Amino acid sequence: MPLLSNPEDVIGRRFDFIIAGGGTAGLVLANRLSENPDVSVIVLEAGNAHVDDPIILSPTGWVPQLFNSEYEWGLQSTPQPHSLDQRLFEFRSGKGLGGSSSINCLVYLKPHRADIDAFEKLGNPGWNWENYQKYSKKAESVHAPVPPVRQFRPTYNHDDVGHDGPLPVSFCPIASGVEYPLQKGLSELGIETISTGFGGETAGTYKALASLHPVKMTRTDSANAYLFPVIDRPNLQVLTGALVTKVVTSGDEATGLTADAVEFEHGGKFYQVLCAKDVILSAGAIKSPQILELSGIGDRSILEPLGIETKLDLPTIGTNTQDHFTCTGPAYELRDGNDIITEIEGPLPLVMSGYAFFPLHKAAANAQELIDKISAKINDEASPYSAGLREVYHVQLELLKDEDVPDVEIMVVPFSVIPMGPAGRAYVNVPPVLSRPFSRGTVHINSADPLAPPVIDPHIFEEDIDMEIITAGFKVSRAAAQFSPYKDIIAREVKPGPDVVTDDQIKEHIKSHVGTVWHMVGSCSMLPRDKGGVVDAKLKVYGTNNIRVVDLSILPILVSTHPQATVYAVAEQAGDIIKADHM
């Protein structure tokens, strides 16, 4: 049993580093910062420890974890006017040691190099593809690929990945049987299968890696990779069931706020631990801005009506949020006799591993017209964009214009947690995912009660270009089904069905079936302060002397692939930044 702390072990004690959140990034930092025996580190995690939890260890455990309050926060958005019937959207965010690395679908993908180089272009020195690869390789231990499964080949270049990091990563040893036929269908549309998607070039189709132990066939997460092997370090304390409620500060805006302590709730009572060096918020893109606002750091117009004293007026906190939007469909009933695996449980774990990424130019004949339209809107001085957001948009436009950089994704979902049709039949869902939305959302508190959930407004499809891009991706996914051998395994389309044909009908279907992939970023963006930034390139909150944020909330622009690998790379780089400042 790992040596977890009790409240009486830590109350009132002074620690060099206080990490709020024992999720993916927080536990990487706990490991790296406590490597120095002369510093003390404490992790405060609101959820439970989940040590040796069979649900977490199971690669298919994310299904019983869905909307289970033991493992996730169970948060909802505000009604979204650009969806059908102003729907509310569920937001999954991991709760417990390991955070979202313990509840995700195990997908381990690296972004396009241009995604990461965009961070440096926006004024963040050192946040570029070269450093990304350095720190990604430091985190991962990629194991040799399994043999091809039904002609679906797991390929990569040896030098593109790390081989001796703490996190075991491997290819799933089985496949549904849909992935290769889809690849052949997409190749007819000019979207080719590539030999590696892990070296900074991601346009094409390929088999994804997974956070899957290659021998045990169990999930690997930040808890079992980074924390549990070092939990017996005498300078490391980990307290679970400890909800951080605020950072206690002294000073003012003129001198900069200094974090003196962190308040947390445990067992219905409130306690404090004292800070000697840094407080690091690693609570995720929803909870980290909430903690800042509860601490009096944020938009004065939001805080003061709630009775919270404004210690630091930083109105950009909780803004600039982005997420990957997706929908249900195209989805198909499959023919009998093709030995397609669509049951998630089996002798070996079936993990989603079939992905395609491609630029708008491959998906839409009117791509340039769409780009010109959004460019004109962004450049129009009458448009309701701040100068900072306009500058971020210009960098995002460069990505959209680049015909080698993906803007949309297709993923193979060979199982369904919602009915697709009559029971006893095999189905596959092959939806598009909007890689880099232009719509920007917000996350803010609406209560001074730290136990109250924040208000999440993703502003889904507020920018028309987002609907145009995902519609183009939907049509590509559907068009691939016209070609053998993909069409030969399909019996019929069940979502949305053959009656949905026109662009307007497709858009209505997307509006009524839209959701997110729970990859929110941006709420504490790493940008120059005058561009809408919350943290600088050293991840320090503007106007503070020793409060940092290290999690996905710092990404100023969403990366075009699933971000698990990116969280690990960000946390590894942050560890070196903090060490350089203090050690």
Active-site residue numbers?
519, 562
Q: Which residues pair with 141 in a beta bridge?
A: 163, 168
Q: Rounded distance, CA 488 to CA 104, Å? A: 32
Task: State the DSSP string of 256-276.
Answer: -BEEEEEEEEETTEEEEEEEE
Q: Rounded distance, CA 525 to CA 316, Å? A: 8
Angle (CA) 202-205-207 rounded to 5° is: 95
Two structure tokens written together for 522: 């941006």
Residue 253 CB partners (closer than 8 Å, separation 6+): 311, 312, 313, 543
Two structure tokens written together for 298: 């944020």
What sign results for the dihedral spanned by CA atoms 566, 570, 575, 576?
Answer: positive
33's enclosing H/E stretch is helix 24-33
User: Half-sphere exposure (CA, 13 Å, Cβ side) for 498?
Assistant: 6
Two structure tokens written together for 171: 């290819």
Taking each helix axis from N to C terminus, what angle separates 387-401 and 113-121, rounded to the nearest 10 degrees? 150
Place of tokens 């194991």: 143
Q: Rounded distance, CA 359 to CA 377, Å? A: 21
- Of residues 356, 368, 583, 388, the one with CA closest to residue 486: 356
Place of tokens 């869902």: 429
What does the radius of gyration of the chain's CA atoms come to, in whole angstroms?
A: 23
Q: What region, left, alpha or beta, does residue 283 occupy, with left being phi > 0 and alpha being psi -120 to 50 degrees? A: alpha
Contact call for residues 566 and 111 (beta carbons, < 8 A) = yes
Q: Rounded distance, CA 196 to CA 90, Å? A: 33
Q: Which amino acid is at 115?
A: D
Task: State the DSSP string of 162-195.
Answer: -BSSSEEEB--S---SSHHHHHHHHHTTT--B-S
Q: What region, left, alpha or beta, does residue 426 occupy, with left being phi > 0 and alpha being psi -120 to 50 degrees? A: beta
> Strand 312-313 to strand 427-429: parallel, antiparallel, or no bridges (unpaired)?
unpaired
Q: Rounded distance, CA 570 to CA 552, Å? A: 8
Q: Rounded distance, CA 411 to CA 389, Å? A: 30
User: Half-sphere exposure (CA, 13 Å, Cβ side) for 346?
Assistant: 15
Contact call for residues 356 and 186 (beta carbons, < 8 A) = yes
